[in-house]
Chains A and B, each alone.
Chain A
Amino acid sequence: MDVFEAIKGRRSVRKFKPKQVERELTEKLLTAACWAPSGGNIQPWQFIVVEDRTILDMVRKISPGYFGETPLAILVCSDKTKAHKVGGTMGRDYLSVADCAMATENLVLAAYALGLGTCVVKSFSHAAMKEVLEIPQGIEPELLIVVGYPDATPAPPRRIPLKENTYLNKFGQSFQHTEA
């Protein structure tokens, strides 16, 4: 699939079919995530793949932003200890979050290309997530990605046009874009 097709076609899916995601596909998603850019090549991401139905149900119940029933959720965490050791305070406080976000974007685009639907969720209880998934100190949950086969795909939301957020050479100087 063309990368632009995936970028423009991906949606936040909140209704899923009751169908399992094959492990082979899950591994492809994680591989895509791991090829994201990483500041200082720290690669601070840690992934918790949740397939167990009982645990998945608990994760859903502590996440107000988790809609629909999915067979799979992947929690993207950052290793703050490693990020600090290698990248200093910038690594711990900024790069680790940015890297996890970029890994997440890779993952959801790969999922779309494989026919899967995803929704990236930040609205979960941080404290409850650490308790339920037994996450140790120094590892911080960043984003939860719910994954499944889409049953309904929402219409694309409005995007701010380039003329409203893009400048040429200096802030405020008009960027004459040619895109229709």
Chain B
Amino acid sequence: MTQPRNTGNDYLFELALFLATSARNCIDEPPLYGPFRLLDALSRLADFPEHDDSLDKDPFLKEAKAFVDEKKFLVTTDVEGFTQAADELVERFAKELKRRSAENRNKK
């Protein structure tokens, strides 16, 4: 029953379709579904290297995806917990941004 591995182009189309349908649905859905869909999109985006061999696997994004997948459904049961998880995710990204910036500066 597991789906065959999509090619990069198939996966890109699937992601685009997810964004299009989410955008339309967000007009009518509960406001918190907007951030929920964005986080879910992040999770799906992080899978891109699995479908396109030209991309490097990114350990940080892989970890971010695991974190999002663990926390995203809090949106339906624990809004405070969902918000804290989103805050923590952004903090993790900010630290990673600083780390990558320093690394790039040192390379120059």
Contacts and interface: CB of A to CB of B under 8 A. Distances in A.
Contact of B21 (A53, A62, A69, A158): A62
Contacts of A127: 24
Contacts of B21: 62-64, 124-125, 128
The prevalent SS among residues of A at the interface is: loop
B71 interface: no
Nearest to A123: B25
Given A123-B33, A124-B21, A125-B25, A157 B77 contact: yes
Contacts of A53: 1
A132 B37 CA distance: 22
B40 A64 contact: yes
A123 B29 contact: yes
A18 interface: yes
Interface in A115-142: 123-125, 127-128
A88 B71 CA distance: 45
Contacts of A125: 20-21, 24-25
Given A62-B17, A125-B25, A158 B3 contact: no
Nearest to B30: A123
Interface in A6-62: 14, 18-20, 53, 57, 61-62
B14 A64 contact: no
A57 B73 CA distance: 22
A161 interface: no
A16 B40 CA distance: 18
A61 B22 contact: no
B76 interface: yes
A152 to B, nearest CB: 11
Interface string B33-69: 1000100100000000000000000000000000000
B2 A18 contact: yes
A125 to B, nearest CB: 4
B70 to A, nearest CB: 12
Interface string A49-90: 000010001000111100001010000000000000000000
Given A71-B1, A124-B25, 8 more contacts: A18-B2, A19-B1, A53-B1, A61-B17, A62-B21, A63-B21, A69-B2, A123-B25
Interface of A: 14, 18-20, 53, 57, 61-64, 69, 71, 123-125, 127-128, 154, 157-158
Interface of B: 1-3, 14, 17-18, 20-22, 24-25, 29, 33, 37, 40, 73, 76-77
